[in-house]
A and B are shown apart, each in its own frame.
Chain A
Amino acid sequence: MNIELLTLSEIVDVAGQAGNFTVTVKKNPRYIDMDKCIACGICAQRCPKKVDDEFNMGIAKRKAAYIPYGQTVPLKYVIDPVNCLYFTKGKCRACEKFCPTGAVNFEDKEEILDFSVGSLILSPGFKPYDPSGLDFYGYGKIPDVVTSMEYERMLSAGGPFQGHLEKRSDGRAPKSIAWIQCVGSRNTNQCENGYCSSVCCMYAMKQALITETHIAGGGEQTIFMMDLRAHGKEFERYHQYALEHNVRFVRARPHTIDPGPGNSGVSMRYVTEDGRTMKEDFDMAVLSVGMEASDDARRLAEKTGISLNHYQFAQTSSFKPAASTREGIFIGGAFGGPLNIPTAVAQASSAAAEAARGLASSKNSLTREKKYPAETNIAGKEPRIGVFVCSCGVNISSTVDVEAVVEYTKSLPNVVFVENNMFSCSTDTQQMMAKAVAENELNRIVVAACSPRTHEPLFQDTLKEAGLNGYLLEMANIRNHNAWVHQKEPEKATQKAMDQVRMAVAKARMVQPLDKLQVDVIQKALVVGGGPAGLSAALGLADQGYETVLVEKTGQLGGNALNIRKTAKGEDVGPALREMIRNVEANQRIRVLKNARLTSVNGIVGSFSSDVEAEGKTEHIEYGAAILATGGRETVPEQYLYGTDSRVMTHLEFDRELADHAGRVKQANTAVFIQCVGSRNEKRNYCSRICCTHTAKSAIELKEQNPDMNVYVLYRDIRTYGAKEDFYTKARKLGVKFIRYDPKDNDPEVYQEDAGLKVRVTDPILGLPVVIDTDYLVLAAAIEANEVSDLLSLFRCDTNQDGFLNEAHPKLRPVDLAVDGLFMAGMAAYPKMIEGSVSQARAAVSRAGVILSRNRMYLDAVKSYVTEQCDGCAVCLDVCPYDAISLTEETIDGRSVKKVSTEAALCKGCGLCEATCPKQGIQVHSFTNNQLRAQVRAALDLPN
């Protein structure tokens, strides 16, 4: 209700300044009235003009009247005027003739709209690289060379081939498929994309693994790559999983693809790491294309007056990762550079927090809320069921005999009113439904139409407007699950529709009104941890007007950032960090508790309370949401003479050496860096993510101070993802030597000889051992999360097996913990740079703001509840994934009685308890055993 979607629109101009922009938007005509369109698809069926389907990367065709894809939001058709026959040739209008609702409007005109807004967020996304210009790959000429985007559609069950892989050349199923990484990324020869696109290594592995399940016998998958970049949470394990599934990884960048025999398949040539020229045939080659800025994004930057960086992505800084160069305009997603879904989602939340910061003074002034009449009390009343059977134009009625269903429904028990509607969802029908409820004293409603997933909220709203509780609705999905999928069997479809209505009526007789759980929100926040993530979370919350308590375990704010001199982008950390600390300490809404720890946590989302022990005193605090930013740390290496020889140091120690003894460092002849010390092994089966960039930066600094110095980096895969690739490129240009090692084959050996420090490693390109006499040996020591299990058990949340906090959903809710009201930021979630910590902290602020901005919140009523039958056996406690059930004991008549009780705010209504309980002692509202049974019995036409 508070979001207005403007589709087919583009920004023409942004005038004014932060807090008071006037945005001029050109809204292009859709030629279809959104209010009338019911997304039946008849316009597309009737449209005679076939066009390449952009969503399916041109592999399939769409019509000139179309929706881009099945899940389009809003689900409304559009006419493409560039291809429509009426617009190009002056006649046709078939869509108009057949549209059952009269939604087609060829007179639709473009509109120019002005909006007054305080902040703007730009998220125009990216464009996949087009490899047509790379003639050596034969893309566009050899049919079995496809881009990864095309391949994605070919693999998709919803794609043009329904997921049945076939070669474009001869339609046969492929057996062997090769992926070529870094096509249009890490490349400054054929394009200007010197950066790493960050996502392609992972998606290539994903595609290879999915391919295995789509080919009989599994097929053979090969990935050709330079470095394998699996630098995200759980990515390392995914790589191992791919290896276990026989995905072959080859370190090479194939230089030529020729057509296979008879133009079927491909013949690929490449040079291995040890210099052998290879020729290998595959059935298909997939080019893993990278991400680049689109022309639209560039134009948007121009129109909005913001700067782009040298790769044409939006310019941002480490301490303000969501801010563009124009105040009040923020950046979301891949507009700022290549990133994956979770990072894009978190980044967008961070942009939302920044945008909201500028709007804090006018918060809630324009928000809309709907009012409903008082609910009719139906307690003790016999069910009087009204059934509305929708024709959905002809969508349902062309397959299902709707009249027969209506007649049949009249015979069902408790049904007192049945009606057929042309469109149950249309505004006038909604009003008629409300009238029918009043006139017939209906107290349960069944709508036999489309999917409850899309339309239940709408019809619940109708019930509420008619004075009925929204949970007295039951839907029978006779469109998506019936008419649309049984088009050739109308009689059976009609029979099935009758069954579906009977099942819905059987359940409707048993549904009860439910009240949403109401929580009075304490509009205050708690932040645990005083590093850059915690500081920036506290500042973000305070800026939005929420009183915040910041709990820091040590006596000093700043965390790991106190030991870091420069960000990856080269900004000085010290001044920026000091400013943050000053702002936190001076902020009247923030209270900092140092040398502090939480000793208790009670309550639920919106209403938590804790005891905090700080400097010998205990105090009680209350808050509605909390952000955990408990940080991580550099580990202490256990190998390579660390601790034995003072010339061997970690990254942070070497940073101090650079700061304190610059002269001495400059005099050194040789420096060696070893990567992945303590990471990517059995103990820590993950990539520490930040070390490759740190090493590249330090190596560059050494070379710039003393170009004659010999600088070596011993690495496993260089993971300078995104624009950080520039540092790797620069280091190589400055003469830093990179030698790859594999801990299994040629783990570096470090030893002392004649007071010298020696590193011996076999160079895989030369195939010979190299002995380096070095002055410094810098170890890229692993990063791990701080040990905070006590805190986490207070909050009843958990970590993954590597000790990093678990998200509620790894992609869609990347800063939420599984416990409602808790959010995470910084290295507690995964190793990251300052920029990432700040961004994630702001994202957490945004998410916490969703709770804190209201003084009262409502939680869904579909929750578990305990019945009389519960005898306290407690088997449900173990299966509850949310820790929402506890065992209670009370004394009744001198007898101890055990029972379970549920914490409604923690319960998500999944019903594992219900399925586990041997005696129906615990059930889920609206989905009880008996309600499911009633549906089963109705399906089998047995009496209920």
Chain B
Amino acid sequence: MSESFEPKIIGFLCNWCAYAGGDLAGVMRIQYPPNLRAIRVMCSGMVHPEVVVEALCNGADGVIVMG
């Protein structure tokens, strides 16, 4: 794998915890790699397994469901 490989990670973030944590990380200017593409959901429990699998099949390098 080349050094420039930048994985694209799809994140499903619960509005009430993980997404709020992301907001707070911003307020605190905590730096992290720009590889996450966050999708806000009202509960991590609403993410259908099919949506996760399709993301992987369509080329996502990782999926993280945070809640």
Please report the C-alpha to C-alpha distance between residue A496 and residue B50 in the assembled complex, in whole angstroms. Answer: 25
Please report the C-alpha to C-alpha distance between residue A852 and residue B19 in the assembled complex, in whole angstroms. Answer: 33
Q: Within the complex, what minimum Cβ distance (angstroms) separates A672 from chain B?
A: 51
Contacts known (A862-B42, A911-B46); A939 close to B37, Cβ less than 8 A: yes
Contacts known (A451-B23, A453-B19); A933 close to B54, Cβ less than 8 A: yes
Please report the C-alpha to C-alpha distance between residue A162 and residue B28 in the assembled complex, in whole angstroms. Answer: 10
Please report the C-alpha to C-alpha distance between residue A937 and residue B33 in the assembled complex, in whole angstroms. Answer: 21
A912 in complex: contacting residue of B12, B20, B43, CB < 8 Å: B43
Chain A residues within an 8 Å CB radius of B15: 453
Which A774-832 residues sit within 8 Å CB-CB of chain B?
none
B64 at the interface (CB under 8 A from A): no
Q: Within the complex, what minimum Cβ distance (angstroms) separates A509 from chain B?
A: 15
Q: Within the complex, what minimum Cβ distance (angstroms) separates A877 from chain B?
A: 15
Chain B residues within an 8 Å CB radius of A917: 48
Please report the C-alpha to C-alpha distance between residue A482 and residue B30 in the assembled complex, in whole angstroms. Answer: 11
Please report the C-alpha to C-alpha distance between residue A939 and residue B11 in the assembled complex, in whole angstroms. Answer: 10
Q: Within the complex, what minimum Cβ distance (angstroms) separates A845 from chain B?
A: 28
Please report the C-alpha to C-alpha distance between residue A454 and residue B41 in the assembled complex, in whole angstroms. Answer: 15
Closest B residue to A162 using CB positions = B30
Chain B residues within an 8 Å CB radius of A238: none
Q: Within the complex, what minimum Cβ distance (angstroms) separates B41 from chain A?
A: 6
B23 in complex: contacting residue of A480, A495, A862, A915, CB < 8 Å: A480
Question: What sequence of 0s and 1s flags, for each residue 484-501 of chain A, a beta carbon within 8 Å of any chain B beta carbon?
Answer: 111111001101100110
B58 at the interface (CB under 8 A from A): yes
Q: Within the complex, what minimum Cβ distance (angstroms) separates B20 from chain A?
A: 6
Q: Within the complex, what minimum Cβ distance (angstroms) separates A642 from chain B?
A: 48
A453–B10 touching, CB < 8 Å: no
B1 at the interface (CB under 8 A from A): no
A83 at the interface (CB under 8 A from B): no
B32 at the interface (CB under 8 A from A): yes
Please report the C-alpha to C-alpha distance between residue A71 and residue B26 in the assembled complex, in whole angstroms. Answer: 12
Please report the C-alpha to C-alpha distance between residue A453 and residue B23 in the assembled complex, in whole angstroms. Answer: 8
Chain A residues within an 8 Å CB radius of B41: 911, 927, 932
A942 at the interface (CB under 8 A from B): yes
Q: Within the complex, what minimum Cβ distance (angstroms) separates A139 from chain B?
A: 29
A70–B46 touching, CB < 8 Å: no
Please report the C-alpha to C-alpha distance between residue A910 and residue B10 in the assembled complex, in whole angstroms. Answer: 20
Contacts known (A910-B46, A924-B46, A932-B47); A942 close to B23, Cβ less than 8 A: no
Chain B residues within an 8 Å CB radius of A911: 41-43, 45-46
Chain A residues within an 8 Å CB radius of B42: 862, 909-911, 924, 927
Please report the C-alpha to C-alpha distance between residue A929 and residue B39 in the assembled complex, in whole angstroms. Answer: 12
A503 in complex: contacting residue of B24, B34, B37, CB < 8 Å: B37
Please report the C-alpha to C-alpha distance between residue A322 and residue B38 in the assembled complex, in whole angstroms. Answer: 45
Closest A residue to B45 using CB positions = A912
A936 at the interface (CB under 8 A from B): yes
A102 at the interface (CB under 8 A from B): no
B34–A935 touching, CB < 8 Å: no
Q: Within the complex, what minimum Cβ distance (angstroms) separates A519 from chain B?
A: 21
Q: Within the complex, what minimum Cβ distance (angstroms) separates A143 from chain B?
A: 26
A158 at the interface (CB under 8 A from B): yes
Q: Within the complex, what minimum Cβ distance (angstroms) separates A496 from chain B?
A: 5
Contacts known (A927-B41, A929-B51, A932-B41); A486 close to B34, Cβ less than 8 A: yes
Q: Within the complex, what minimum Cβ distance (angstroms) separates A162 from chain B?
A: 8
B2 at the interface (CB under 8 A from A): no
A481 at the interface (CB under 8 A from B): yes
Contacts known (A485-B26, A914-B48, A929-B50); A936 close to B39, Cβ less than 8 A: yes
A480 in complex: contacting residue of B8, B22, B46, B55, CB < 8 Å: B22
B60–A940 touching, CB < 8 Å: yes
Please report the C-alpha to C-alpha distance between residue A495 and residue B35 in the assembled complex, in whole angstroms. Answer: 10
B30–A936 touching, CB < 8 Å: no
Q: Within the complex, what minimum Cβ distance (angstroms) separates B40 from chain A?
A: 7
Closest A residue to B46 using CB positions = A911
A927 in complex: contacting residue of B28, B34, B46, CB < 8 Å: B46
Contacts known (A480-B27, A936-B51); A500 close to B37, Cβ less than 8 A: yes
Give the residue among A485, A862, A909, A937 with the most B Cβ atoms within 10 A.
A485
Chain A residues within an 8 Å CB radius of B49: 915
B39–A481 touching, CB < 8 Å: no
Closest A residue to B9 using CB positions = A939
Q: Within the complex, what minimum Cβ distance (angstroms) separates B52 from chain A?
A: 9
Chain B residues within an 8 Å CB radius of A499: 37
Closest A residue to B27 using CB positions = A70
A939 in complex: contacting residue of B10, B32, B34, CB < 8 Å: B10
B37 in complex: contacting residue of A485, A489, A496, A909, CB < 8 Å: A496
A481–B45 touching, CB < 8 Å: no
A480–B40 touching, CB < 8 Å: no
Chain B residues within an 8 Å CB radius of A489: 34
Contacts known (A454-B23, A915-B46, A915-B49); A481 close to B28, Cβ less than 8 A: no
Chain A residues within an 8 Å CB radius of B32: 485-486
Closest B residue to A487 using CB positions = B31
Q: Within the complex, what minimum Cβ distance (angstroms) separates A81 from chain B?
A: 25
A910–B43 touching, CB < 8 Å: yes
Contacts known (A499-B37, A936-B10); A915 close to B45, Cβ less than 8 A: yes
Give the residue among B15, B34, B37 with the most A Cβ atoms within 10 A.
B34
B34–A915 touching, CB < 8 Å: no
Please report the C-alpha to C-alpha distance between residue A477 and residue B23 in the assembled complex, in whole angstroms. Answer: 9
B24 in complex: contacting residue of A158, A493, A496, A927, CB < 8 Å: A158
A915–B47 touching, CB < 8 Å: yes
A484–B27 touching, CB < 8 Å: yes
Closest A residue to B37 using CB positions = A939
Q: Within the complex, what minimum Cβ distance (angstroms) separates A920 from chain B?
A: 8
Please report the C-alpha to C-alpha distance between residue A910 and residue B15 in the assembled complex, in whole angstroms. Answer: 10
B46–A940 touching, CB < 8 Å: no
Please report the C-alpha to C-alpha distance between residue A452 and residue B42 in the assembled complex, in whole angstroms. Answer: 12
Chain B residues within an 8 Å CB radius of A939: 8, 10, 37, 39, 60
Closest B residue to A499 using CB positions = B37
Q: Within the complex, what minimum Cβ distance (angstroms) separates B51 from chain A?
A: 5
B20–A453 touching, CB < 8 Å: yes
Please report the C-alpha to C-alpha distance between residue A656 and residue B47 in the assembled complex, in whole angstroms. Answer: 60
Please report the C-alpha to C-alpha distance between residue A479 and residue B25 in the assembled complex, in whole angstroms. Answer: 11
Report B's interface with A, CB cutoff 8 A: 6, 8, 10, 12, 15, 19-20, 22-34, 37-43, 45-51, 54-55, 58-60
For the complex of A and B, list the 9 residue pairs with the smallest distance between their C-beta atoms, beginning with the closest. Answer: A911-B46, A480-B26, A484-B26, A939-B37, A910-B43, A70-B27, A492-B34, A480-B23, A912-B45
Told that A932-B41, A940-B8 touch, could you supply 11 new A-B pairs with CB distance under 8 A?
A162-B30, A484-B27, A484-B29, A495-B34, A499-B37, A912-B45, A927-B46, A929-B48, A936-B51, A937-B58, A939-B10
A selection of 9 A-B contacts at a CB cut-off of 8 Å is A162-B30, A453-B20, A484-B25, A487-B29, A500-B37, A910-B43, A936-B58, A939-B39, A940-B10
